[in-house]
Amino acid sequence: MAAVYPYINFNGNAEEAFSFYKSVFGGEFAMVMRFSDVPAEYKMPESEASRIMHIALPLSRGTLLMGSDVPESMGEVVIGTNFYVSISTDSKEEADKLFNGLSSGGKVQMPMENSFWGAYFGMLTDPFGVQWMLSYDANIPGQ
């Protein structure tokens, strides 16, 4: 089966955002590449050399959160309301821990609570404008 990995683009603060995500989820980066690491024929402007070309943080169950800074030549990234990163946890406690960490400095859209469909669920926007859904559903096997 194919794997799906959320990939988030940033306007020069990918490293800050992923350091924040690492503080919430734990673990170590699977990969960190900077624009200074690209071969000479693809050389980026010196002003962008220290920016993140690609970064990956394993979350759980074979899931990676990935991202990068977008080069200025490609235009500015507009963080929109057209996507959420949705995470299903193994317990209510884990859902609360991740929700509280990600919402720190951000905005809670829906606090963690028991939903009418039976899941423990919440929604938020983190300090970097990325929208997240956290849920725990004891009725789904493996959760």
* Residues 50-60 pLDDT 10s: 999 999 999 98
How many other C-beta atoms can be found within 10 angstroms of the C-beta atom of residue 121? 22
What's the total number of domains in the chain? 2
Mean per-residue pLDDT, 55-75: 88
Per-residue pLDDT tens digits for 8-55: 999 999 999 999 999 999 999 999 999 998 877 777 788 888 999 999
143 within a domain of the structure (yes/no):
no
Same domain for 17 and 44, yes or no, is yes
* Whether residue 61 is found in the same domain as residue 25: yes
Asked whether residue 80 is domain-assigned, the answer is: no
Please check whether residue 86 is in contact with residue 4, taking contact to mean a CB–CB distance below 8 angstroms.
Answer: no
Question: Is 70 exceeded by the pLDDT of residue 141?
Answer: no
The answer to whether position 29 is within a domain reads yes
Round the average pLDDT of the chain to a whole number and report it: 88
- The CATH number given to whatever domain includes residue 107 is 3.10.180.10
Asked if 43 contacts 4 with a C-beta cutoff of 8 angstroms, the reply is no
Compute how many other C-beta atoms are within 10 angstroms of the C-beta atom of residue 94: 15
In this structure, the strands spanning 131-136 and 85-88 are parallel
**Does residue 1 belong to any structural domain of this protein?**
no
pTM score of the predicted model: 0.81
Give the 3-state secondary structure of residue 118: coil
